């Protein structure tokens, strides 16, 4: 692993240090997991945005499925 300097204000450090999970596993482990979770969520957001942009750019199902839009049925609640 490579050491990284991160600047946090005193109140945030105090809150972090008061957390039972931080006491058990240490700041570094918790911050590594937080960074990993952030990257996972950011990746998921980028994928969702790409899908949204792709489907938003072309209305309907395309020529191949023209006329089938009304054939689907939603289940009764």
Sign, Cα dihedral of 42, 48, 50, 52: negative
Structurally, the chain folds into a number of domains equal to: 1
Does any domain span residue 45?
Answer: yes
Task: Give start and end residues of each alpha helix (H) in 3-77.
Answer: 10-18, 20-25, 27-57
Is 9 a domain residue?
no
pLDDT in tens, 8-67: 999 999 999 999 999 999 999 999 999 999 999 999 999 999 988 887 877 666 778 777
Neighbours of 27 (CB within 10 A): 15
Does this model's pTM top 0.85?
A: no
pLDDT of residue 60: 67
Its domain, for residue 50, covers 27-57
Please state, in angstroms and as integers, the Cα–Cα distance from residue 11 to each residue in 7, 18, 23, 26, following that order.
12, 11, 16, 17
């Amino acid at each position: 692993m490579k050491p990284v300097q991160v600047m946090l204000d005193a109140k945030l450090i105090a809150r972090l240090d008061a957390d039972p999970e931080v006491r058990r596993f240490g700041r570094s482990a918790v911050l590594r997991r937080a960074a990993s979770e952030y990257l996972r969520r950011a990746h998921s957001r980028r994928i969702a945005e790409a899908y949204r942009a792709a489907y938003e750019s072309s209305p309907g199902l395309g020529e191949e499925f023209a006329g089938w839009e009304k054939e689907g049925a939603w289940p009764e609640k």
